[in-house]
Every structure is written in C-alpha cells, then in structure tokens.
Amino acid sequence: MNKKSAACAAVIEIGTKNVKMRVSQLVKGKIHTLDYLEYPVSLDHDVFETGAVSFDSLRELSAALAKFSSALLSYNIEKPRVVSGTALLEASNRALVLDQLRVRNGMDVAVLDSSQEKAYIFSEIEKRLVQEDRIHSGHSLIAHIGSGSIGLAVYDGEKAVYFQNIPMGALKLHDVLGALRRKADDFNCILEEYMDTILNRMHISGFGIENLVLTGSQIELIAKLCSAEKAGLVYHIETGALQALYDSLLSMTAESISLRYGITENQAALLYTTLFIYRGILRFCPQAKEILSPPVDISEGVTRYMLMPKADAEWSSYLRKNALACACTAAQSFHCDEEHSKRIGGYACRLFDKLKKVHGLDTSKRLVLELAAALHSCGSYVSLRQHNRCTYDIIRGMDLFGLSSAEVLEVAMVAGSISDALAQENVPELSILTQSERIVVSKLSAIFRLANALDKSHLEKLKNLKMSLDEDRILIRAESSSNTLLERWSFEESAGFFKEVFGLSPELLIKSDMI
C-alpha cells in the first residue's frame, strides 16, 4: 500500500505510563493502521501521588513527542492530533505542561474529560461488537478500566441508557493504596472493602444485565493468561478462568507474579489491581459464563472521526442519542415528567433553529438545551422551595455521556436558571465563567425559559405551534381549546429576559377553540 496515495491521519495519546502514536489511512471506506509506535513515560507517580507533572517527566515526555514528530515526516503529516485523558486531566500544573509542549514541540494537546474519553472508547466497542449477535439480546454492561478511571455504561442494544465514570482506575488504585499494601497482611480484604464502597453505589440491578463487556489497558495480557479465544476482534474470556487467575495471584508478591508470567514487577502489580476490578464488576451479572473483551484505545476512535466522510455529523448523532438516553434515565430516578420535558425540549430546539442567525451559537449547543429540558425538574424531588438551586447542584455533579465539564456546567446553569442575574458580578456560580461563556449561557437560558413557559401547566395546551421571526420580534402562534392563562403569564414573565438578551420582543398569539 502506498502510504501517500490517500489521506493519512496521526493521533498521539499521552497516557500515564506511555505515549502512543497511531498513523492511519482511509482506503475504500476502511481505516488501515499504517504505523503504531509506543514510548514509555512515567507520569503515573507524578499525577497520582504528587498531583503535578515534574520537569524531569516533562522533558521525558517532550523527547518522546519529538521522536514521533520525526517519524511523521515520512507520512507528510505535520500536525498530528494529540490527546490526553487522566495523565494530564488531574495534573495541578496542567496549564504549564500544555504550554511547554506547545513551546517545545509545537503541539496543541487536547485534554479530554473522562466522559469525553469514554465516549470515544465506547463508540469503538460498539463497532467491534456488531458481529456479536448476543450483544443485542437484553441489556449489556460495558466497562472500560483505564489507568485513572473506570467508565461504566449500560446498553439496551442500540444506545447507552446509563453512564457513570468512577475516578479510580487500576493504576490509580495501585498507587493510592500502595503504601497500605506494604503495611497490611490482609491487603486483599481491605481492597475489597474499599471497592465495595464504590461499586455498591452503582444502581443498575434494575436493568437485568445479561452481557458483560469489559476492556482496558491490560486486556491483552489478561486474555492471554486466561487462555481466551479470540473471535474476530473480540476476546471471549471465561468468567471461571478469570476468577481462577485472580485466586492464584491473591497470595503472590509482585516479584513472584513477575517471575511466573515473564512480565515486569510494575506490570505484575498493575495486573493484580486490574483483575480485582474485573472480578468486582462480575457482581452485576453473576450468571455470566463469559466476558466479551474487545481491545480498543482512544486513538482508534479519534482517528475514525478524523478520516471518515461525514464524521462530524455521525459523531454528533452518536453523542446526542446516548447523552439524551442517559439523561432521561437519570430524570426518571427523580420522577421528572418525561412528556413535558420532551415537549419543551422540542420547543427549545425549534426556537434555537429559528434564531440561528441571531444567536450565532454552534449547533452543538442545541444538545445543551435538550439535556437541560430532560433534567430541569430534578431539583423538585429534593426541594420544591429551592428546586432551581437543587437542579443546578444535581446536574453539576453528574457525568453526562460524552460531555466536557464545561458543557455539563452549561446544562446545569440553563436547567437551573442560574443565569437570571447575569449582570450581577457577585453571583458565585457566574464568577467561574468568562464573559464570553456568560453570553452563551444567557442566550441558551433565554431560549430555554421561553420554551418552558409554553408548557407551564405540563398539559400540552398549545397545539400547532408556528414560529416566525421579524426584525424586532419573535412571533409564536398556537391554537388551544383550554384555558391558557398560566402559559400566557409565564410567557410574559420570560419575555423580558429574552428581549434583554436578543433585543427581540416575544409575542404569543393563541387562537382559542373554546366553546
């Protein structure tokens, strides 16, 4: 294959223990890996124990990236996509590290939040499992055990309906509890109790999990040690073999594990904590006889959406489908009115589309409105008196599938109407935003509040809504056979803020069918 005959793309992933580079090419609709390089680095001790990347580690990382840049010259690639997850996400001096990599290597590193990272990985897992017919029967628990976090999602065969990110991966667990292991003879019991406090908070038993899909950085080694068969792109690991492997390692030291399996002591120590997490997740599907394990990494997902035609639209659709499904599941646990949420989400999107020449926002903000609509009643479950405040606090702490922490904050502010007093500098929630971010939130909030007013009674009183935009007003026409005094009052209450933000006067004209 002529590596210059078609478009190539390179993705570099900065991990806690290594830096990886994947060079790929799109040929006849399929992505082929042309080159894959891996270079060891030691960011794990820095990030998980000291909290910051040392200058020694920074120099080591910069040197590795320089080697990759040289290798890319033969592919005529000057600007690879460089991403990082936990390795830099949790570093207290992240801004300094990113600046130095920009200065030293000319590389702009995109630091992905855990939810964004897992979305790329889960999209690849889905594609790998298309050939597995059994994955479409019943619900499946998909878990990715990374170095610093565990991503868990429940799939119904078409989409994720539950998502959670646990900030405790195999390497982080090993480093955080490393000192304790050296002191305690019954370390495995302590570890089990510690993980129980985390995994017991996962309320997914109601889904009736029938399939287990587990993967992560150690999956190739674990599959090999369990003598797993590989069908196509997926390992089939027997749960009994996994349990037996774990039991055999319980009383062994890292040194003895290393000698038995011909791996380094660091790999041996990490193998133990990884196996422990895998074993812990088995509790969610105790009847499972096998684990499906497709080896994937984030570079494959990022590459796909760099090279494939219409990738942006496909990625947006994937995120929307899964993020909304997971948000709706969360809303159900707070007894939100799902039909009302769908209606105002639809109204908000219609307003967003109608005002696109006025608001100037990226189309991705449309999803923020839909998520805000799905979740805006969560706070009422906690407190009717302070429901807006509670809604904001609840959403702010959520893991929303594929969204960055900044996007989650936007959803929380819009849904919780925290933006009521945008001009007040002393509002604590607003002080964390830049001026441009405040403007975005204010535009979305103005649209959302007007949409919410159109179904204030939750009774879908307004029918056949039509929206039109004039120079100085947005006109909404509707028909109704009910008393719409509540909707009219709420609309007038929201109209002032809308006009303040957009300079347009909202008008609601309702043709009454009341007899």
**pTM for the complete prediction?**
0.89
Query: What counts of helices (H) and strands (E) characterise the chain?
Result: 22, 15
Q: Which two tokens stand for residue 153?
A: 């999602």
The length of the chain is 515
**CB 305 within 8 Å of CB 311:** yes
| Sign of the C-alpha dihedral computed for residues 276, 282, 283 and 287 taken in this order | negative
The rounded distance, in Å, linking the Cα atoms of 234 and 254 is 29
The rounded distance, in Å, linking the Cα atoms of 450 and 445 is 8
Q: Which two tokens stand for residue 461?
A: 């009183």
> Can you spell out the DSSP letters for 414-474?
HHTTGGGGTT-TT-HHHHTS-HHHHHHHHHHHHHHHHHHHTTTTSS---EEEEEEE-SSEE
DSSP 47: I
Lowest mean pLDDT among 189-203, 231-245, 451-465: 189-203
Taking residues 70-90, report their average pLDDT.
Answer: 90
- Using 50, 70 and 90 to split pLDDT, how confident is the model at 388? confident
Residues 6+ apart with CB under 8 A from 417: 388, 445, 449
pLDDT of 423 reads 42
Is the pLDDT score of 425 beyond 80? Answer: no
pLDDT averaged over the chain?
87
Taking residues 19-31, report their average pLDDT.
Answer: 89
Residues 6+ apart with CB under 8 A from 459: 482
- Of all residues in the chain, what percent carry a pLDDT higher than 90? 54
Lowest mean pLDDT among 2-6, 125-129, 181-185, 215-219: 2-6
Instruction: For Cα atoms 75, 76, 79, give the angle at the middle one, nearest 5 degrees.
Output: 105
Taking residues 88-112, report their average pLDDT.
Answer: 94
The rounded distance, in Å, linking the Cα atoms of 346 and 370 is 8
pLDDT of 422 reads 45
Instruction: For Cα atoms 456, 367, 407, give the angle at the middle one, nearest 5 degrees.
Output: 105
Taking residues 137-142, report their average pLDDT.
Answer: 87
| HEC string for 131-151 | HCHHHHCCEEEEEEECCCCEE
Q: Which two tokens stand for residue 314?
A: 């496909």
